[in-house]
A = this chain, B = another copy of it.
Amino acid sequence: MLQTAIQARHVQATPALWSAGQPRSSRGRIFETKVTVEAGATIFEEGAPAEYFYKLVTGSIRLVKILSDGHRQICDFHLPGDLVGFANADDHDFSAEAIQPCVLIRYRRKDVDTLIKSDAGFACELQTLTAKGLSSAYAHMVRLCHRSAYDRLARFLLSMADRTQSADGWFELPMSRCDIADYLGLAHETVSRVFTQLKKAGVIIEPTLNRIKLIDQDALEDQLEAA
């Protein structure tokens, strides 16, 4: 079992990690805590009381739910800038697992109301980030409702490219084929098959595992449009 190794320290004089240059505080109270976790660590567990929520600074995270039949489902991948663990419920509906080493800013959920009331800038940003999360959740539903495995994977790659690709068009998938399968609602064998199909068709190149470039992004988008 991977043991969670969370190192936390209060942010006293760090450079701008949130919107402001100064750590969020009020009347001497510190509301932000910087947290570091290693790859594979569990940040919070499904079913546990939702004491904290986080903003991801570096690294990547998967939101996992284990279904009663033992299947694993991934509901979201979080990248830097995303809000993590801000669900409605008192308990977490999902586990959050670090795919890579991560740095996060941690907030106490019960401070939310205080923070919103004392800091309108925080309130606005929190609102914007939550709405962004909702918007990306809807985008994922659109992917999931596409019948064909090819469509789902192609659209997933396009969105990952949008989120993470560098100027030369290359990007790195932090997650495994299994993670992708559990995210797209496919068997991992199917994901693998579609990957080779995409490579054979010259749609993508992948010289080493998970290092990817879309050969003709526009053509791929058009193809998905037309289909």
Cβ < 8 Å to B, chain A residues 96-147: 112-113, 116-117, 120, 123-124, 126-128, 130-135, 137-142, 144-147
Cβ < 8 Å to B, chain A residues 124-180: 124, 126-128, 130-135, 137-142, 144-147
Q: Is the CB of B147 within 8 A of A185?
A: yes
| Chain B residues, Cβ within 8 Å of A76 | 138
Q: Is the CB of B128 within 8 A of A88?
A: yes
Query: Main SS of chain A's interface residues?
Result: helix
In whole angstroms, what is the CA distance A116 to B113 when docked? 12
| Chain B residues, Cβ within 8 Å of A147 | 185
Q: Is the CB of B112 within 8 A of A127?
A: yes
| Chain B residues, Cβ within 8 Å of A227 | 68-69
Instruction: Indicate whether A87 reaches chain B with its CB closer than 8 angstroms.
Output: yes
Q: Is the CB of B224 within 8 A of A65?
A: no
In whole angstroms, what is the CA distance A67 to B227 when docked? 10
Q: Is the CB of A124 within 8 A of B113?
A: yes
How far is the CB of A40 from the nearest CB of chain B, in Å? 22
Q: Is the CB of B88 within 8 A of A134?
A: yes
Interchain CB contact (< 8 A) of A127 among B87, B89, B126, B185: B126
| Chain B residues, Cβ within 8 Å of A224 | 68
Interchain CB contact (< 8 A) of A134 among B133, B139, B146, B226: B133
| Chain B residues, Cβ within 8 Å of A31 | none
In whole angstroms, what is the CA distance A88 to B131 when docked? 5
Instruction: Indicate whether A86 reaches chain B with its CB closer than 8 angstroms.
Output: yes
Query: Can you identify 6 A-B contacts, CB atoms within 8 angstroms?
Result: A67-B142, A73-B141, A87-B135, A113-B124, A130-B131, A144-B185
Q: A88-B135, A123-B127, A127-B127 are in contact. List 18 more A-B contacts (CB 8 A).
A: A68-B226, A69-B226, A73-B145, A75-B138, A75-B142, A87-B135, A88-B128, A88-B132, A113-B120, A113-B124, A116-B120, A123-B123, A130-B130, A130-B131, A137-B137, A140-B141, A141-B144, A146-B185
Interface residues of A (CB under 8 A from B): 63, 65, 67-69, 73, 75-76, 86-89, 93-94, 112-113, 116-117, 120, 123-124, 126-128, 130-135, 137-142, 144-147, 182, 185, 224-227
